[in-house]
């Protein structure tokens, strides 16, 4: 039996991601998925008004809300592992960037379900990394 699989064509699926999906993803990422490499989240100065008017109290929910309402949040990593906040690199994360992260993740792991209930800390981490780095940097 020939175990080679010949690809006939690629299929691109359109799958809506709700505001609640984004808030849940950010909550999962911030509260467990990215904390081994991420040194912080904050709203970008240009999104301060969105942050101030957010109905959400927790950082993770507020970050998701800012993204959903068209704002930008900043994600810090300490790639050089200096531990010095002055050395952190801050990466922008907004709707467009997060969408690319979702697409990159599902291109990388197409077998992962589209059901947000299946998105655990590892999935949230990988989606955020694909969004801000374009690849998986931290494993």
With residues binned 3-state (H G I as helix, E B as strand, rest as coil), the percentages for the chain, rounded to 5, are 50, 10, 40
pLDDT of residue 3: 63
8: pLDDT strictly greater than 70 = yes
* Percent of the chain clearing pLDDT 70 (strictly above): 95
Give the mean model confidence (pLDDT) for residues 49-61: 91
114: pLDDT strictly greater than 90 = no
Residue 99 in tokens: 């969408």
Using alpha carbons only, give the angle 20, 15, 138 rounded to the nearest 5 degrees. 70
Q: What is the pTM of this model?
A: 0.86
Confirm if 75 and 124 have CB atoms less than 8 A apart. no
pLDDT of residue 119: 85
């Amino acid at each position: 039996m020939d175990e080679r699989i010949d690809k006939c064509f690629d299929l691109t699926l359109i799958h809506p991601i709700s505001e609640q999906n984004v808030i849940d993803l950010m909550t999962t990422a911030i509260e467990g998925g990215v904390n081994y490499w991420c040194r912080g989240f904050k709203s970008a100065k240009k999104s301060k008004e969105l942050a101030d008017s957010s109905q959400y109290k927790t950082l993770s929910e507020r970050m998701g809300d800012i993204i959903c309402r068209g704002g930008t949040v900043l994600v810090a990593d300490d790639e050089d592992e200096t531990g010095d906040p002055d050395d952190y690199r801050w990466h922008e994360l907004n709707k467009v960037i997060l969408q690319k992260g979702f697409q990159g993740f599902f291109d990388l792991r197409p077998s992962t379900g589209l059901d947000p209930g299946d998105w655990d800390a590892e999935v949230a981490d990988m989606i955020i990394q694909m969004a801000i780095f374009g690849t998986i940097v931290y494993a």
